[in-house]
Each structure stands twice: as C-alpha cells, then as structure tokens.
Amino acid sequence: MLRLVPFLLASLLALPLALPLAAAPNQLCLVVLKAERRLELLQDGKVMKTYRIGLGTNPTGPKLHEGDGRTPEGTFYVCVKNPRSKFHLSLGLSYPTPADAARGLAEQRITRAQHDAILAAHQTRATPPWNTALGGEIFIHGNGSGSDWTLGCIALDDDAMTELYALVEKGTTVEIRP
C-alpha cells in the first residue's frame, strides 16, 4: 500500500485541475460606474486602479436602440481588441446581450434571425451582431475622458487606455452600472 502512495500522488498531480472561472488566480474584471464617471480595474475582486471616463451624449439610463447616445448597462465581455482604433486603442464589448435581444424582438426592433444570432454569439463568447436597430460597436477607447461625447462608448484618456489595453484580454468581464 505504501508503494502505491507515490504513484497515486504523482497521478493525481498530473491531472488538470478544473477550477471555476471565478477562482482563477489574477482574474481581472472591469466595473464602470456611469454616475461617477469612473472605471475600476479589479483583480481577484479588489480595486487595483480607477480611471476617469466620458460616456455617451445621453448617459442616463440603459441603451435602448441605435443612435440614442446612451452607454449600455449590464454585464458584458471584451469580444474584440483593436490596436488600430481611430480612438487610439479600443476594447469591443459584447453588446447587445441576450436580454437586449429578447427586448428587441418583443418590441419588433430586430428579427428572429438577428435575435438568434445574438444568442449564438454569446453562447460561444464571440462578437454579437453590431448592425441591428439595437445598436452595437460599443467600445472602451481612448481620445479623452473630459466630457460625455461618445455615441455610447466609454472614453478614457490615451495614456490610461494604453495601460488598460495592455492588461485586458479578450473574454474579460465588464460590468456597467448606472
């Protein structure tokens, strides 16, 4: 029996550990506090840094449709990293979400095919369709945080965006709160 212990221990150590995503060490996430015009970078649930932000031209309330000037609210993931953004650097967010798709379908703003495409993108953590009446192409990008000037994006100063872009990977969770 004692001869088996080293063998069993070695075998167990060779198995990959399936840790839940939330337990992954050094996990980063972003929290946007719209009313406070602040983005927080969290690591393992602790605020590591805060950044001043600018929002859409009509920042109060959730995004409802394309052209409303609102920044969406909810939980998203980074689905695109764009090093060639016209706004310095940018991180694309997974808006619209399945909840937005359900609302859009109920309000007849989008088709069943668009609804299903949004759901399919979220199931694989891909980029959802950005060309619907719900709007899309919501980014965290550079080019200045001094005012609310975007069409619904989250704007940082370029030096802050450079720092954030280097730290954040595709798939990173982004929570946008009122």
Residue 99, both tokens: 């909840």
Instruction: Look at phi and psi of residue 148 and say left if phi exceeds 0, alpha if psi is from -120 to 50, else beta.
Output: beta
> Which CATH number belongs to the domain containing residue 148 in this structure?
2.40.440.10
**Residue 5 falls within a domain, yes or no?**
no
104: domain range? 24-177
pLDDT of res. 26: 66
**Residue 74 falls within a domain, yes or no?**
yes
Q: Give the tens place of pLDDT for each residue, 40-98.
A: 999 999 999 999 999 999 999 999 999 999 999 999 999 999 999 999 999 999 999 99
Torsion angles phi and psi, residue 38, rounded to 5: -140, 140
Distance between CA atoms of residues 32 and 175, nearest Å:
6
Q: Give the tens place of pLDDT for each residue, 90-142.
A: 999 999 999 999 999 999 999 999 999 999 999 999 999 999 999 999 999 99
Length, in residues, of the chain:
178
- Domain count within the chain: 1
pLDDT grade for 25, boundaries at 50, 70 and 90: low
**Residue 15 falls within a domain, yes or no?**
no
